[in-house]
Structure 1
Amino acid sequence: MTMRKKTFPLAALAAAALLLSGCSLIPTYERPAAPVEASFPPPPAIDGAQPQAATGAVASELSYQQFFADPRLVQLVGIALSSNRDLRATSLAIEQARAQFQITRANQYPAVGLAANASRAPNVINGALTNSFQVGLAVTSWEIDFFGRLQSLKEQALATYLASEEGRRAAQTSLVAGVANGWLALQADEELLDLSRRTVATREDSVRLTKLRLDNGVSSALDFQQADSLAQSARATLAQAQRQRALDENSLVLLLGQPLPADIRSSLAGDRLADVPPFPALQAGLPSDLLVRRPDIRQSEQQLIAANANIGAARAAFFPRISLTAQAGTASNELSGLFKSGSSAFSIAPSLVLPIFDAGRNRAGLASSEAGRDIAVAQYEKSIQTAFREVADALAGDATLAEQLRALQAQAQAESGRFELSDLRYRNGVATYLDLLDAQRSLFGAQQAVVQTRLLQRQNQVSLYKALGGGWTDQPEMAASAASSSPATR
């Protein structure tokens, strides 16, 4: 219809429509029960004695600067957080999700623009050509959200944005742990390289001594061949250690997103894991604590909330969709009369579409969204179970690796004494050279095992820190404010 000489403000129309809208068909969200036990399994008993539960700091409240006492490691983590390409891509995905949320939210409001029309058509009565000119503000196909379809889509986009923010935090915790483990591996590589070099030097001395004894008829050719074989084995181990050192540095460089700083690289020489400052003790708490401490679990829950909101949009598709097109301005049969007194005009054209037959499209859409919600529930429960296992594994390792390291250190000390005695007995002709070589092999193996087990222990402590939600400290203000304004997150 068209009204002249009387205007109806578009702002008042928009306000009335917004008041009428707001119905939501989103199912009431209820957080699924955690499918795990109420407490973590007790650590394995050592020598029949049950270990005491660890007491200490809460991992999620302990920044990586506080957890890692080595300033070089803190510097490397800072470099990775600013330069790692995977984390950068994850952060950009947040910006994309935020923009998508803003687009979806904007669909709830009318888009007002300047419209100008000009037409020339024959009169239906006399056939004479008639001009028509119109200019003004226009609202084109604005959907009035009576049944909450757009509201549901907005809630879905908001939850998706919040999930991407939690995903960035989860990626950060993984990156922090990855850099720490890579740095510890490099320190272990340096210690193993030093051990291999010293072993090669010792065995080459044995080869020279055996050759001298062979030339003087004191030793046999068999002794010489055995000594040479053991020296070649040590050289092979050294080459393997050098290759592993290079591979571990390459892995760390990839995590950093830039080459290892020269001063840090040079400072590695002579590093020993035994000299690394100890990490703070952590308290495990309860499995239910992980729901708020672990970013990956919160990410999975936001994805579940998004899937739940999708059901509301699918339900709304069964109801009428009401759209509005309106324009307010001036109209005239002559271009010069557009802005004269009495040329004002207003038009409004509401439309309603009620689905009657769609070959099952809406039902299939609802079934798909409900299945998506069930998938999100399973994924959320799996994320809790995975977190529970990671914490339980780290706690079991914390209880047993210390005892394993203690036993291996005692074994290495015993093997060192055995080697010294075997060397003394051989030089005095009491023992065979085979006994000495066997003592050398056992000592080298025990020393390697000590370094590797100490590495496992340190990396397990890092894994426990990550599993308990440590490694991120920032709380972006926009995500917090968006979450507080979302009905789905209350």
Structure 2
Amino acid sequence: AAARAAASAPAIAIAELPAQTLSQRPDVFTAEREVTAASADVGSAQAQRYPRLALSGSIGYGNFRAGGVNTGTDTWTIGPVSMSLPIFDAGKRRANVDAASARYDAAVSSYRATVRQAVSEVEQALVNLDATGARAADAQTALDGYRVNYTAVEDRYKNGLASLFELEDARRTRLAAEQTVINLQRERSAAWVALYRAAGGGWTAPTDGAPAVASAN
């Protein structure tokens, strides 16, 4: 009775996931960080090509004692502003910018490929989930019919109106239908696990500088 109730219970369905969900996947998260780091490298390499200003001076605290009285004053000095200009370096700074830009482009391409793979895995899991749900309903309907048929054949056998062969054939058909329902339930559970993993489940987003932590699933 419990098995029959579990088999006939309505299946949970899900049609779509928010795109933002994919950002919690470890591979997407890492690829996004790499794009951010590569972008910062481009900005740093470009900054090396421009003049830089430097301010010299000091800020401090002075203490004077006169006539038994301590007097504290803030002291500060500002020196001249100096500016450094990039000198001829045979194109080294320009090459650094080009290299940083190439790394950025590669990081962006890798990020896009990672996101496409993530979307593909989620779509496949959703398709499998939907397919197993539809097939499970049909399999359950068939099982109900085979159970009714087996009961009818069993009653006929008890009254001498059916042979043992007919009874065993009806039993075999009913058992095969029950096995089909169980297999579909197993496939649906696997589809849920695949969707959970494809959406980035089973890990904890790291703090800056800390590695991702995966939980058991």
TM-score range, shorter chain: 0.5 to 0.7
Which of 152, 155, 163 is the matching residue for 1:209?
Answer: 152
Q: State the partner residue of 1:252.
A: 195
Q: State the partner residue of 1:80.
A: 21
Taking structure 1 as the reference length, the TM-score comes to 0.31
The percent of aligned pairs where both chains have the same amino acid is 20
Which of 130, 138, 142 is the matching residue for 1:195?
Answer: 138
Secondary structure, aligned partner of 1:100: helix
Q: State the partner residue of 1:230.
A: 173
Q: Describe the superposition over 1:43-96 as per-residue Cα deviations: whole angstroms up to 9, x where unpaired.
A: xxxxxxxxxxxxxxxxxxxxxxxxxxxxx74x5243535554533332222111
Q: CA RMSD in A?
A: 3.1
Residue 204 of structure 1: how far off its partner (Å): 1.6
Which of 103, 115, 122 is the matching residue for 1:160?
Answer: 103
Distance in 2 separating the partners of 1:251 and 1:238: 20
State how 1:377-396 maps to structure 2 within 5 Å. Answer: none
Secondary structure, aligned partner of 1:162: helix
Query: Is the 8 Å Cα contact of residues 122 and 198 (structure 2) preserved in structure 1?
Result: yes
Query: Is the 8 Å Cα contact of residues 21 and 199 (structure 2) preserved in structure 1?
Result: yes
Q: Describe the superposition over 1:170-216 as per-residue Cα deviations: whole angstroms up to 9, x where unpaired.
A: 33333333333322221111111112212221222222122222212
Distance in 1 separating the partners of 2:51 and 2:148: 88
Which of 2, 15, 31 is the matching residue for 1:90?
Answer: 31
Q: Describe the superposition over 1:12-39 as per-residue Cα deviations: whole angstroms up to 9, x where unpaired.
A: xxxxxxxxxxxxxxxxxxxxxxxxxxxx
Secondary structure, aligned partner of 2:54: strand
Against the structure 1 CA distance between its residues 242 and 79, is the aligned structure 2 distance closer, same or farther, given a 3 Å change threshold?
Answer: farther
Q: State the partner residue of 2:209.
A: none
Query: Is the 8 Å Cα contact of residues 210 and 227 (structure 1) preserved in structure 2?
Result: yes
Secondary structure, aligned partner of 1:76: coil
Q: State the partner residue of 1:106.
A: 47
Secondary structure, aligned partner of 2:17: helix
Q: Describe the superposition over 1:390-447 as per-residue Cα deviations: whole angstroms up to 9, x where unpaired.
A: xxxxxxxxxxxxxxxxxxxxxxxxxxxxxxxxxxxxxxxxxxxxxxxxxxxxxxxxxx
Greater relative contact order (Cα 8 A, min sep 6): structure 1 or 2?
1
Q: State the partner residue of 1:175.
A: 118
State how 1:79-478 maps to structure 2 within 5 Å. Answer: 79-81=20-22, 83-109=24-50, 111-114=52-55, 144-257=87-200
Query: Is the 8 Å Cα contact of residues 129 and 191 (structure 2) preserved in structure 1?
Result: yes
Against the structure 1 CA distance between its residues 233 and 103, is the aligned structure 2 distance closer, same or farther, given a 3 Å change threshold?
Answer: same
Secondary structure, aligned partner of 1:113: strand
Distance in 2 separating the partners of 1:224 and 1:207: 7
Distance in 2 separating the partners of 1:97 and 1:226: 68
Amino acid at match of 1:248: A
Q: Name segments (4+ residues, structure 1) moved above 6 Å.
A: none
Residue 138 of structure 1: how far off its partner (Å): 6.0
Taking structure 2 as the reference length, the TM-score comes to 0.63
Distance in 2 separating the partners of 1:202 and 1:157: 68
Aligned length: 168
Residue 244 of structure 1: how far off its partner (Å): 1.2
